[in-house]
Homo-oligomer: A and B are copies of this chain.
């Protein structure tokens, strides 16, 4: 899960704080990230038609501030979703109160929420906590660590990742964190991720880099195929490293993209590994498809098949389910050329079973990380998707009646 945070160097010019304001029964439930100067911002929001109030407000703020933001405020314990006009007012009040405390403009604030859907947000608890929260911000790794805990809901552990690269001979740092365990405890939802960097990047270049980094990380994972109403990924780049501006192409851009991609990849895989009830991370690679798009559709169908995922929970070398899932993905291929390997063991070649030692395969399939490789031998299209196994614990976590 990356190096220990003590060893990581915080990006310059960012401060963090958190508090327990009473939205959760116990523990930290309000977090704040502040950039000392306006930072370029790029965000990816949920594609769900049902969008929580903070998403609507944050999208407005990004437009009004031309992508230059000062802070991100996050509460856990309540998603402020399906909460109507009152929900929008609550997110607005949160941003306005923080802007007053920081002496900046309201539209320079991003607002995020995660937790129960459909219950009114007790925004007065947030508003009461904001002055102290804003006063306590610190550029300390301990503050960042606490922030990563304040945004957790059903996560079993905090998730963060760091990277750096050289621009203009100077080192720039990236530091990110995430919460999300697939979706959801009963009525809990949401993947949230925040990445800060002291690189100097214009908003358009940052948006492009984020779009590219997300394709092979956050958009390539699936736990249960459900999409939350609150998903938010935000990157702030404040330029405090003092290096030259990174443009949306060229060597600087490529180095920055590689670093951003590694942070996104690490966070995305940490989310899968902490998927509700998950025992293992499964990498599904499809090659030899007619197109990348087709390979992606096949990989996602395999990754979301309950039959494949339950077989993986039991370490069952059940390649027949993988082939059957590929066959219903709506993509043309010749099953008689298909080759399937699970955990390095070839089980199917030219669409026919290959003898293998079941016991060895079973043992290998019980590892923490299991690769599945499907080669259709029908083209140059390829895709890679990460998922987790589907266990009785997933059902227990999600079927328990909220009492």
Which residues of A are in contact with B by a Cβ distance under 8 Å? Answer: 47-50, 81-84, 117-119, 183-184, 186-187, 189, 224-229, 304-307, 310-311, 313-316, 318-321, 323-328, 331-333, 335-336, 348, 351-353, 358, 362, 390-392, 394-396, 398-402
Q: In whole angstroms, how far apart are the Cα atoms of A323 and B82 in the complex?
A: 9
Cβ contact of A184, chosen from B186, B307, B358, B398, cutoff 8 A: B307
Which B residues are in CB contact (< 8 Å) with A187? 318, 320-321
In the complex the two chains form, is B228's CB within 8 Å of A310's CB?
Answer: no
Cβ contact of A306, chosen from B224, B315, B327, B336, cutoff 8 A: B224
Q: In whole angstroms, how far apart are the Cα atoms of A351 and B51 in the complex?
A: 11
Q: In whole angstroms, how far apart are the Cα atoms of A186 and B315 in the complex?
A: 11
Query: A358: shortest Cβ distance to chain B, in Å?
Result: 8
Q: In whole angstroms, how far apart are the Cα atoms of A224 and B311 in the complex?
A: 14
Question: What 4 pairs between A and B have smallest CB-CB spacing?
Answer: A50-B327, A314-B399, A117-B320, A310-B398
In the complex the two chains form, is A327's CB within 8 Å of B49's CB?
Answer: yes
A and B contact pairs by CB, cutoff 8 A, 18 listed: A49-B335, A50-B323, A50-B335, A84-B351, A117-B323, A183-B307, A187-B320, A226-B324, A229-B324, A229-B327, A314-B398, A314-B399, A315-B401, A316-B400, A358-B402, A391-B399, A392-B396, A392-B399
Which B residues are in CB contact (< 8 Å) with A315? 401
Cβ contact of A314, chosen from B331, B335, B352, B401, cutoff 8 A: B401
In the complex the two chains form, is A186's CB within 8 Å of B226's CB?
Answer: no
Q: In whole angstroms, how far apart are the Cα atoms of A119 and B394 in the complex?
A: 32
Q: In whole angstroms, how far apart are the Cα atoms of A48 and B330 in the complex?
A: 8
Which B residues are in CB contact (< 8 Å) with A395? 310, 313, 390-392, 394-395
In the complex the two chains form, is A48's CB within 8 Å of B327's CB?
Answer: yes
Query: A176: shortest Cβ distance to chain B, in Å?
Result: 25
Which B residues are in CB contact (< 8 Å) with A362? 401
Q: In whole angstroms, how far apart are the Cα atoms of A396 and B306 in the complex?
A: 12
For A84, A224, A401, the residue with the greatest tally of chain B CB atoms inside 10 Å of its CB is: A401
The answer to whether A402 and B316 touch (CB under 8 A), given A226-B307, A394-B306, is yes
Query: A133: shortest Cβ distance to chain B, in Å?
Result: 28
